[in-house]
Amino acid sequence: MARAAFLASGNGSNFQAICEAMVDSPHQPAVLVYDRNNAKVPERARRLGVISRYVPYAGRSREEAEEVILEILAPFKPDLIVLAGFMRILTEKFISRYEGRIINIHPSLLPAHPGTHGIEKSYRSGDKELGITIHQVDAGLDSGPILKQVSFRREGGETLSEIEERIHTLEHTWYPRVVLELLDQIETETTGR
């Protein structure tokens, strides 16, 4: 059994998709940390039976907020940190604590369209190929090594909401798969099996 901790800021549909996929796996969601008090994600955690903790960034530095997050995470001994719509950039210090074990999903084919509004930017760009990227996290903006990209060709004439739906369906299919694969790998490495 390996454990994933989650950092999220908003809706939490990817968090939920991963937790639901974990039910039929040997792995477990350890804890959710969220940084916005109007986020929907803690309600999803409550329904899924996952512990959640609120860590606001307002009124303190990024380093101070991250110290609190690190303290919350430590007793859960997470094997993997999964960013699921977490709208903050992590510092080198935080990343080095979980070196190579922090991943993120982004709704565009990186390096195209990093940052917020990835779907809308991809949609309006006229790019023929759209999709999602799952990547390791470094201290940049959506810039770490790519683990998986899944794309589709736009037919032309799709509305923004049709494209959004297609992207979210891809996310909810592939993010759980990649997380479970990584947890399998981590378990194999640690148990030698």
By annotation, the residues acting in catalysis are 106
| Binding status of residue 13 toward ligand GRF by CB under 6 A | yes
CA angle (139, 116, 45) in 5-degree steps: 85
Nearer to ligand GRF among residue 10 and residue 21 (C-beta) = 10
Q: Which of residues 85-104 bind ligand GRF (CB under 6 A)?
A: 85
Amino acid at 23: V
Distance of closest approach, residue 90 Cβ to ligand GRF, in angstroms? 14
| Binding status of residue 84 toward ligand GRF by CB under 6 A | yes
Residues binding ligand GRF: what is the number (CB under 6 A)?
Answer: 13
d(CA 175, CA 74): 24
Q: Which of residues 142-181 bind ligand GRF (CB under 6 A)?
A: 171
Burial (CB count <10 Å: 0-12, 13-18, 19+), residue 39: buried
Q: Residue from 5, 6, 12, 65 that binds ligand GRF (CB under 6 A)? A: 12
The residues that bridge with 63 in the sheet, in sequence order, are none
According to DSSP, residue 90 is labeled P
Q: Residue from 4, 14, 137, 180 that binds ligand GRF (CB under 6 A)? A: 14
Distance of closest approach, residue 183 Cβ to ligand GRF, in angstroms? 18
**Cβ contacts of 28 within 8 Å, gap of 6 or more:** 1, 2, 3, 4, 22
Nearer to ligand GRF among residue 14 and residue 52 (C-beta) = 14
Whether the Cβ atoms of residue 14 and residue 85 lie closer than 8 Å to each other: yes
Binding site for ligand GRF (CB under 6 A): 8, 10-15, 84-85, 105-107, 171
